[in-house]
Amino acid sequence: MDMYNRNVKIIEDAFIQIKEATGISSTEEIVTTFIKAEEQNYSLYNYVNMLNSEIDTIAEQNRNIERQIAKHEQLAVMSGQEKEKMRARLTKEIEETKASSLAKD
């Protein structure tokens, strides 16, 4: 019971200090203001989390685009003969994959 009374006294003192600092005389108004502020903080917290998630997604998209740009730059540097060799190699891989797939059926 003694502990309960001490806690009540601490809370009452805190409200007195808040009333003096804010000029708000009603305890209910202080509580309502605090609750509204907490709801706004929670909304802002969720909004920031959503923005961080979007930033992560966009960063990943940027990395993918940068890889594609590097790949295309590499292809642009290749000579016609090198491109033809690559095309032939890829065509051969496709044919081997098709043959392997047919053999499994």
For the chain, helix, strand, coil in percent to 5 are 90, 0, 10
Residue closest to 83 by CA, chosen among 72, 94, 93: 72
**Domain segments of the chain as ranges:** 27-104
What does the pLDDT read at residue 105? 59
Across 78-98, average pLDDT: 88
Asked if residues 10 and 16 have their Cβ atoms less than 8 Å apart, the reply is no
Mean pLDDT of 66-95: 87
Average pLDDT over residues 20-42: 92
pLDDT at 61: 96
What is the pTM for the complete model shown? 0.54
